[in-house]
Amino acid sequence: MHTPLEILKKYWHHQAFRPQQLPIIEALLQGNDVLALMPTGGGKSICYQVPALVKGGLCLVVSPLIALMKDQVYHLQQKGIAAVALHSGLTYYEVTKALQNAANGNTQFLYVSPERLETTLFQECVVDLPITLVAIDEAHCISQWGYDFRPPYLRIARLRQFLPPSVPFVAVTASATPLVQDDIVTKLQLRLPQIFKQSFERANISYSVFKVASKLNKAAQILHKVNGSAIIYCRNRKQTQQLTQLLLAQNIEADFYHAGLLQEERHQKQLAWLQGQKRVMVCTNAFGMGIDKADVRTVIHYDVPDCLENYYQEAGRAGRDGKKAYAVLLYQEKDLPDLMAMPNVVYPPIPTIQKVYQDLANFLNIPVGIGEGNYYNFNLHQFITNFRYDANTVVNTLKMLEQEGHLSFNEHIFLPSKISFTIDKSALDQLEYSHPQLMETARALLRTYEGIFNNEVSINEGQLSAIMRCSVLTVKKHLQQLHAFGIIHYQAQKETPQLHYLRNRAPAQYLTLNHEAYLFRKQQFADRVNQMLHFLQGSSQCRSVFIATYFGDTTTPSCGICDNCLEQKNNATHSTTRFLQHLQQVQQLLQQCPNTTVNALIKTAAPLTEKQLWPVLQYLQKEELLSIDAAGKVTYLTT
């Protein structure tokens, strides 16, 4: 058996662990549950990957985003470690095969979404999986009091009923307040967990906040001054495109990225930036998760985030190589009222939520009592236009409905094609005589996808075209014809935004919402906005200390390199210079008149004020160069 350090050296080529990593690994190897809070770029994944390799068997990793899963799997596979991710882009056959391989001991890491844990297929297979460790990434998503609540995370704890009690759980996150930390422990049912908190200090990052007349000019000035790769975060998609054009006009190589782009286009843009072909990525917060680029020198927030959790995570993508980096937040006076109004925007009134819910049903033609389990193509722009809604109102209402478990909205979803046969085998035999070409396609389906005749399964048209030695277009045409003849039910793959109804559509006036939880979440959000406002406008406290304290870390020292620390140093330098000037002036006066009075000095020392004079006199007394008696007589003691 290899030791943790041997595993680290063999696969990661590091000679030593970072602070807190080894204690976390040892706790898991002893079978303890763990909650690990480590900053972005702090090496969270190693904390469960290394002990999993030491223990052997299978490590099940629950992760919220496909991009995160793919990135982790890619890096593990590059090291020669068997890793697989189950995501919505896989066919039923591919998922089944992956689970069979894992059950046979051929997989070391299996990455899944929390939604995947709830599928019948997974629950049927999980008892056969040799799971020795469960890791929950981005664990803050489990808390409805947090900033990124995802209801499926609440059901992860049910996984324990399928596993031996000896299997430890480790929950990791980069951003959780003390309240959210407690919620993670409770909701995941962690058993007497050992809690590890790494310092939230990022000593190499200089945090700065600038109130500016022109955000564009300031951003361009920073990018011209600081070389290297950069990210600029914007609030909306339109702004990413506009700002990119303005930066290009100033000879700054930039590109834009947002969730509305096609998957292939997003991939190409991301790859160009990762490889250094594009220097600056102007993006919404859809960009960054799962991105492993160590040499980002600058992260600029063009708009103010609504909470410190998002800001800290996004700013933390700078300087992962440990070298000096800059996190810059730009704002204008007009941004402040918008930020203060955010709680009412993000948490629309209950009647508004009910109205949007009703209009969604009208838009998608979903009758009362129907919809559970169904996916619907959803054109957000068309819905907003047709019903004259503000985009923020609709998006935030969808999020509320998702948190309440009514539906989910996914702009990045990829649903593979699905097929089920709708006739019996005797009727299928007749197809041999009437449409022999279609029968060939039907046979290919039956040979390739086990159980397809009795079940709905996901299929891959590309795989079928290779088997049948014809074009994908021909395969799709045959499938559409079989569907038209009533032989199969064929749902073509979907890559458009989807609304997935988790419950049957209810009458809007009877829509079930937990009002108490809704109001509490709204208040929690308002508190986070207020903290963001304090961060913006605070000029005395170190930025690093402010952020760390917010997350419950009271040990972080002043960084000395943020804008507030630098300003204090500057003020201290000016203060020292002024004091020395005052000291020189007073000493010259005392040399001319070594015996005088305080009142006389006040008059002759003008324009020095009495307030400025007394610190000089006290200093000279302390240095035993001056004496002042009870009557105010001053005697200068020359050396």
Tell me if domain 342-414+497-513 and domain 564-636 are identical in fold: yes
Query: What secondary structure letter does DSSP report for 103?
Result: H
Asked if residue 263 has pLDDT above 80, the reply is no
Say what the pLDDT of residue 364 is: 94
User: What is the distance between the alpha carbons of residues 284 and 214, in angstroms, rounded to a whole number?
Assistant: 20
Say what the pLDDT of residue 290 is: 63
User: What is the distance between the alpha carbons of residues 524 and 118, in angstroms, rounded to a whole number?
Assistant: 29
Give the model confidence (pLDDT) of 49-101 as tens digits.
Answer: 999 999 999 999 999 877 788 888 988 999 999 999 997 667 677 888 899 99
Handedness of CA 293, 90, 63, 263 (dihedral sign): positive
Asked if residue 428 has pLDDT above 80, the reply is no
Geometric angle at alpha carbon 356, from 353 and 359, rounded to 5°:
150
Maximum average pLDDT range among 357-371, 442-456, 465-479:
357-371
Give the model confidence (pLDDT) of 612-621 as tens digits.
Answer: 888 888 888 8
Say what the pLDDT of residue 70 is: 83
Residue 411 — very low, low, confident or very high, per pLDDT cuts 50/70/90? Answer: low
Residue 415 — very low, low, confident or very high, per pLDDT cuts 50/70/90? Answer: low
Say what the pLDDT of residue 249 is: 93
CA 237 to chain centre: 18
β-bridge partners, 457: 419
Say what the pLDDT of residue 164 is: 92
Q: Rounding to the nearest 10 degrees, give the CA dihedral for residues 168, 173, 178, 182.
A: -30
Asked if residue 24 has pLDDT above 90, the reply is yes
Give the per-residue SS3 of 33-85: CEEEECCCCCCHHHHHHHHHHHHCCEEEEECCCHHHHHHHHHHHHHCCCCEEE
205 contacts 314 by C-beta, under 8 angstroms: no
Domain extents in the chain: 4-197, 205-332, 342-414+497-513, 417-491, 564-636
* 120-142 burial: b if 16+ Cβ within 10 Å, else e: eebeebbeebebbbbbbbbbbbb
DSSP string of 613-629?
A: HHHHHHHHHHTTSEEE-
Say what the pLDDT of residue 413 is: 57
Say what the pLDDT of residue 200 is: 84
User: What is the distance between the alpha carbons of residues 20 and 36, in angstroms, rounded to a whole number?
Assistant: 9
Q: Which of 271, 276, 275 is nearest to 287 (CA)?
A: 271
Give the model confidence (pLDDT) of 591-603 as tens digits.
Answer: 888 888 888 888 8
Give the model confidence (pLDDT) of 231-258 as tens digits.
Answer: 999 988 889 999 999 999 999 999 999 8
Average pLDDT over residues 168-182: 90
Domain 4-197 carries which CATH code?
3.40.50.300
Say what the pLDDT of residue 55 is: 94
Instruction: Indicate the class that CATH gives domain 342-414+497-513.
Output: mainly alpha
Q: Which fold has domain 205-332?
A: Rossmann fold (3.40.50)
4 contacts 50 by C-beta, under 8 angstroms: yes
User: What is the distance between the alpha carbons of residues 264 and 283, in angstroms, rounded to a whole number?
Assistant: 16
CATH code matching the domain that covers 564-636, chosen among 1.10.10.10, 1.10.3720.10, 3.40.640.10, 3.75.10.10: 1.10.10.10
**Adjacency order of strands within the sheet including 457-459:** 457-459, 417-421, 488-491
Residue 430 — very low, low, confident or very high, per pLDDT cuts 50/70/90? Answer: confident
Cβ-based neighbour number of residue 91 at 10 Å:
20
Give the model confidence (pLDDT) of 25-34 as tens digits.
Answer: 999 999 999 9
Asked if residue 639 has pLDDT above 80, the reply is no
Give the model confidence (pLDDT) of 463-519 as tens digits.
Answer: 888 888 888 889 899 999 888 888 888 888 766 678 889 899 999 998 988 888 888
Say what the pLDDT of residue 494 is: 67
Average pLDDT over residues 430-434: 74
CA 439 to chain centre: 49
Residue 457 — very low, low, confident or very high, per pLDDT cuts 50/70/90? Answer: confident
442 contacts 432 by C-beta, under 8 angstroms: no
For the entire predicted model, the pTM comes to 0.72
Asked if residue 427 has pLDDT above 80, the reply is no
Give the model confidence (pLDDT) of 305-343 as tens digits.
Answer: 989 988 998 999 999 888 999 999 999 999 999 999 999
β-bridge partners, 34: 170, 194
Say what the pLDDT of residue 414 is: 57
Q: What percent of the chain has pLDDT over 70?
A: 96
Say what the pLDDT of residue 92 is: 73
Rounded to the nearest integer, the mean pLDDT of the chain is: 88
Say what the pLDDT of residue 89 is: 65
